[in-house]
Chains A and B, each alone.
Chain A
Amino acid sequence: MAEIRVMREDLLPPKEPPRRHLISIGDLRREDVERLLGTARNFERSLERELKKLPTLRGKTVVNLFYESSTRTSSSFELAAKRLSADTMSIKSAGSAVDKGESLKDTSLTLGAYDPDVIVIRHPQIGAPQLVARYTGAHIVNAGDGKHQHPTQALLDLYTITEELGRIEGLHVAIVGDVLHSRVARSNIQALALMGARVTLVGPPPLIPRGIEAMGCEVSYEIDAIKAADVVYVLRMQRERMAEGANFVPSLREYTARWGVTPERLRPGQKIMHPGPMNRGVEIDPMVADAADALIEQQVRSGLVVRMAVLYDLLTHGPAGVQAAALHEIGAA
């Protein structure tokens, strides 16, 4: 057999830099967030023009791979990619090979064969985005993996708060409700803490995970605790995640009576947020949802420009003059 000699490192062809991904808020530094929010602000201005389409990502391919139902996230990723002139392809688990029992690894290899530039994935299992990152060469954007992370939701929430209140640092945000089942809550706790806000979680003890204070937040089981906050972030009661007989709360009626966000439990001037879709009359009183201080529609609008900023940042190494630092690097290993 021929002798195998290892070539000197400097004689090898240059290695491709590791792909950047957006999988968890935990992978971002404060300057990454500030850069993304700044880019989103620029896009917001560009959308005020009559011709809303930008040529920036012409020739790039963005695949939306959704294993869970979604309206606002999938539509805003699709529109964000189209506004930047990328080609988009949307794959939903129903009606695809996934329905026929194909593993995520094999679906990844199949999609990877088309050399997509970005794969946006939503999946019910934690760690699915990492798995897709391992088996494709695409940049991965996590659009929600199980109860783990939903980083673009947290970024659009930061963007909404900044636009409305001018800052995040020093604000007090109360996150109310079913924290246990909420990837939105986890991403937001990390994002708000990263940007210097104070976070208080409020809800019934079975829905506040034990040990979550280690993420840098406070916990209260009393709804009165929301009165002290600048922003009240209401989480959806995830009825579909509550197994029969799990008894997280005795009944929705009891939940609403003790932890529902009603006008009486708020003080004037507090901003109200909700990631949607809302259960009106359960976690949020309709009067609160429709009040002038509710930022719920702004959140949806922010979603578009923030997702444009994320796609742009991943595919262009950041705006001119700013060398983007790695959002999340997964090495060849």
Chain B
Amino acid sequence: MLFGRTGEENLVVRGARVLDPAEGVDAALDVRIDGGTIAQLGTNLETNAHRVLDGGGLVLAPAFVDPHVHLRTPGREDEETIASGTAAAAAGGYCAILAMPNTEPVVDSAAVLRSLAEAAHAEAEVPVGFLAAITRNQSGAELTEMAELAEAGAAGFTDDGQPVVAPGLMRRALQYSAVTGRRLALHCEEPTLSRGGQMHEGAVSAELGFGGYPSVAESLMVERDLALAAYERQPLHLMHLSARDSVEALSRAQVAGVAATGEVTPHHLCLTDEVVRSLDANVKMNPPLRAEEDRQALIAALRDGTIAAVTSEHAPHARYEKEVPF
């Protein structure tokens, strides 16, 4: 369920380069929008008293959907608000975004979710969906009231930033997702393998002296979650995959019939652990930037459809929080 305003404008865009790979369209065309819905593509369309926008020299394409952003609201409105985050999304060409629940407080009750939905109705520039937490306070101990949260409009469930460590609890969450009809979105990290890790474990971390966060810390949890999803015959979504072994596991599970999807971020597609040599705190993230072989595997998985979505993982931090040693 998405919350926020949607456009209801009557508009004709003239002569833009219309790009829609899914429909096989790439041509200079006019596009007519009636009441916020695309009504017609063609040349020399009637304007019907609609507002006319000259699209000459511009590209007109279906807007993006971002399944993984952080709006920092409630709790850290100094970093982002629903208004500022959705304005950024609109400026970037997104027509819908999904916000993560790791806020202060965590979105783990219908009351918090309803207040966010209300705020989104008032402030959001593009429609927003809210994921709710899998466990109360994302502490990995007890499930949230997922059915009530789903009724209140939760778009899905995630403990993003934290893995659901206990396999037994993960299994219960998967079982219960049959009741909610909403998918679990998982941050895959085995904490005893990533503990103390500040960057990808490899030659660069060895040289710089950073604690290593090995790729197997992610792929081992991916394998576990896929095994549980297969056993429970429930779908799941794997967030911000970074490692070759993870996408290979996802691909094998998909072939075996598990309804699993995956996402990847632009930074994991474009950068590797080599950039950490800059010691710039802006390239510190979880999961960390990995090796070139991982990057190539992510690109291949996006090409062949194993990975279904590219997400910005928009996660604003206050400037002073990044003006620190790595």
Contact = CB atoms under 8 A, between A and B. Distances in A.
Interface in B97-123: none
A209 B324 contact: no
B163 interface: no
A125 B209 CA distance: 10
Contacts of A145: 325
Contacts of B196: 243, 246
B110 to A, nearest CB: 38
Question: What are the 7 A-B residue pairs with the smallest beta carbon separation, nearest first?
Answer: A147-B209, A127-B279, A214-B203, A211-B203, A125-B325, A209-B206, A212-B206
Contact of A131 (B206, B207, B212, B324): B324
A205 interface: no
B276 to A, nearest CB: 10
Contacts of A146: 209-210, 325
A21 interface: no
A145 B210 CA distance: 11
Given A214-B203, A246-B195, 19 more contacts: A105-B320, A123-B325, A126-B325, A130-B325, A131-B323, A131-B324, A131-B325, A147-B209, A147-B210, A186-B207, A186-B208, A209-B201, A210-B202, A211-B204, A212-B207, A213-B203, A215-B203, A243-B195, A243-B196
Interface of A: 103-105, 123, 125-128, 130-131, 145-149, 183, 186, 209-215, 243, 246
18 contacts: A103-B320, A103-B323, A103-B324, A104-B325, A125-B325, A126-B198, A127-B326, A145-B325, A146-B209, A146-B210, A146-B325, A147-B209, A148-B209, A209-B205, A211-B202, A212-B203, A212-B207, A243-B195
Interface in B138-192: none
A125 B204 CA distance: 17
B324 A186 contact: no
A243 to B, nearest CB: 7
A146 B324 CA distance: 14
A105 B202 contact: no
B317 to A, nearest CB: 14
Contacts of A147: 209-211
A234 B67 CA distance: 52
Interface string B300-326: 000000000000000000001001111
A218 B325 CA distance: 30
Contacts of A183: 209
A257 B281 CA distance: 41
Nearest to A185: B209
Contacts of B323: 103, 105, 131
Nearest to A182: B209
B206 A104 contact: no
A99 to B, nearest CB: 17
Contact of A126 (B195, B202, B203, B208): B208
Contact of B324 (A104, A215, A243): A104
Nearest to A183: B209
B326 A210 contact: no
Nearest to B320: A103
Contacts of A123: 325
B280 to A, nearest CB: 8
B201 A211 contact: yes
A216 B173 CA distance: 48
Contacts of A105: 320, 323-324
A186 B203 contact: no
